[in-house]
């Protein structure tokens, strides 16, 4: 939990309790009015309770909207080093070799002199599916650069499943299957998606676990800077 959340959440907890008490009070008043009131008096009472219920609905909607915005606007809590991460920015990237869907060998250690973007995903992963179209945009922007390489790797997926997924989604970037999770295991023990940017000399410049839209401009900027050097 970051500082913004630590500051605001206690107040939201108090507000949440107050809203819950208000709901119980409204229901109690409605029940009392139905039992005790008669004729026009009952109708007026029910109308007042209905208005109170609408106010309660508005407060609940405002509560969850504000809570969502706090989580959305809050700074990302160290996305580079979430639990399960085995690598660190500044370290040499672990070497591995996989066959791409086209049948070619992609070996990280042979990419010296290139800026390399690696991403581990799974076809069933919701956040991965949200992130991949943005990676396609990155490929569209930088893919024609001679010094840029990019491969998207299906963790514990078969080549057939990854190929079907790519065809369905219409992706054009290079993809590979890490069926046994061997390559992934050099980088982490859990969680996807994971994205890594590797410098020309094989150093990890950037890593991120999870899909965060706010991280994409930062990644683009780093790629652009590396390709200009």
Residue 4 has pLDDT above 60, yes or no: no
Kindly write down the DSSP assignment for every residue of 2-67, as one continuous string.
-HHHHHHHHHHHHHHHHHHHHHHHHHHHHHHHHHH--HHHHHHHHHHHHHHHHHHHHHHHHHHHHH
- Of the pLDDT bands very low, low, confident and very high (cuts 50, 70, 90), residue 72 is low
- The residues that bridge with 118 in the sheet, in sequence order, are 151, 196
Most confident of 7-11, 23-27, 224-228: 224-228
| CB distance 80 to 145 below 8 Å | no
Under DSSP, the state recorded for 114 is S
Query: What whole-number distance in Å separates Cα of residue 30 and Cα of residue 34?
Result: 6
Provide the pLDDT for residue 13: 66
Beta bridge partners of 120: 153, 194
Q: Pick the residue with more confidence: 58 or 191?
A: 191
Which tens digits make up the pLDDT trace of 203-217?
Answer: 999 999 999 988 999
pLDDT of res. 215: 92
Per-residue pLDDT at 2: 42
CB 222 within 8 A of CB 195: no
pLDDT at 158: 97
Inter-residue contact 120 to 211 (CB < 8 Å): no
Indicate the average pLDDT of the chain: 86
Radius of gyration of the chain, Cα coordinates, nearest whole angstrom: 26
Residue 194 pLDDT > 90: yes
Q: In DSSP terms, which residues pair with 195 in a beta bridge?
A: 119, 208
């Amino acid at each position: 939990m970051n500082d913004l959340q630590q500051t605001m959440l206690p107040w939201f907890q108090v507000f949440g309790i107050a809203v819950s008490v208000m709901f119980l009070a409204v229901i109690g008043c409605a029940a009392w009015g139905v039992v005790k009131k008669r004729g026009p008096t009952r109708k007026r009472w029910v109308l007042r309770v209905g208005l109170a219920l609408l106010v309660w609905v508005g407060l609940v909607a405002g509560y969850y909207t504000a809570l969502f915005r706090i989580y959305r606007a809050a700074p990302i809590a160290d996305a580079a080093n979430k639990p399960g991460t085995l690598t660190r920015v500044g370290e040499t990237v672990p070497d591995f070799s996989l066959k791409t869907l086209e049948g070619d060998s992609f070996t990280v250690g042979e990419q010296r002199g290139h800026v390399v973007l690696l991403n581990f995903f799974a076809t069933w992963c919701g956040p991965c599916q949200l992130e991949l179209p943005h990676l396609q945009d990155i490929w569209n922007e930088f893919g024609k650069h001679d010094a840029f390489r990019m491969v998207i790797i299906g963790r514990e997926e078969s080549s057939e499943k990854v190929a079907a997924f790519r065809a369905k989604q219409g992706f054009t970037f290079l993809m590979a299957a890490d069926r046994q999770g061997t390559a992934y295991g050099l980088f982490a023990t859990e969680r996807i998606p994971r994205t890594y940017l590797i410098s020309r000399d094989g150093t990890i410049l950037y890593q991120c676990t999870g899909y965060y839209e706010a991280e994409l401009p930062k990644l683009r900027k780093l790629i652009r800077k590396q390709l200009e050097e």
